[in-house]
Amino acid sequence: MEFILLGFSDIPKFHWLLFGLFLLIYVIILLGNGIIILIIRVNPTLQTSMYFFLSNFSFLEICYVTVTLPRMLMDLWTLKGNISFFACAAQMFSFLTLEAIECFLLAVMAYDRYVAICNPLHYPLIMNHKACIQLVAGCWISGIPVDIGQTYQIFSLPFCGSNEVNHFFCDIPPVLKLACGDTLVNEMLVYIFGILFVTVPFVLILGSYSRIISTILKLPSNTGRTKAFSTCSSHLIVVVLFYGSATITYLQPKPNQFERMGKLISFFYAVLIPTLNPVIYNLRNKGIMVELRKLLGKLLT
């Protein structure tokens, strides 16, 4: 009726240090993304499609880490990793759904940059407010039915052996390893859904950026090329970090191998990347930086 998340129990001497570190990371993620949302919401000059998608992405990052980090903090505080069968299933479903939403949202953000750079005259018409809302709603809704089915498939398997999940949250590979019997069908479904939610959006992103780069290189001035590249660079960095780690995790040949490395990679894309995202967008986005300086100036005076 329950699983035990081993998490970082192999290094018990450092559990208070890890608790403090993860708590600090969680606060940074909440504050960093919350400030981005606040700045975009209250500033009239940032009411464009690019910043609309960015605020949704920041909200998604808050939801994304809230699925895993509070649970990790509780386990480190209590030194217990017990999680009920249904809570584990709910955590897996929530994490997979938010991960799928992030894949699609990153693809939509790439399409937004493609229209802005390759078709600037029609940009306000194509990326109007209604279209932006429909695209974001599509991202949030699209992954739910499939992830319900995938989670149900995995937790319908018999679990008759060990109940110790060698991970810090209920992810597919470590939970699937505990199932009894043949899991070939489930592993094939992981590959299929991985291709559907990871590879397809990534191909769309590559297609958008190939057209973007081709258009930028044709610009007559170096200033125009630099400005165009600067509007895309932060998004491209996030895409490479997120898709690289997610691909390694879900499309590796055997999900039950390299457990320690898999835990490290999962920690990278589930915790560290959401921590870096506000920094990446703040440091490379002039609009956000200008408004952030204004906000800090008002608070300090």
Segments making up each domain of the chain, as ranges: 2-300
Contact assessment for residue 62 and residue 29, using Cβ atoms and an 8 Å cutoff: yes
* pLDDT score at 20: 92
pLDDT at position 251, please?
Answer: 58
Q: Are 251 and 194 in contact (CB under 8 A)?
A: yes
* CA-wise closest residue to 146 among 202, 97, 191: 97
pLDDT of the residue at 69:
92
Q: Nearest Cα to 129, choosing from 144, 112, 143?
A: 112
pLDDT on residue 255:
46
Confidence (pTM): 0.86
Instruction: Count other C-beta atoms under 10 Å from residue 163's C-beta.
Output: 15
Name the stretches of the chain with pLDDT < 50: 255-257
CA distance 170 to 77: 18
Return d(Cα 283, Cα 36) in angstroms, integer: 12
Q: Which CATH number fits domain 2-300: 1.10.10.10, 3.40.50.970, 1.20.1070.10, 1.20.5.510?
A: 1.20.1070.10
DSSP category for residue 257: S
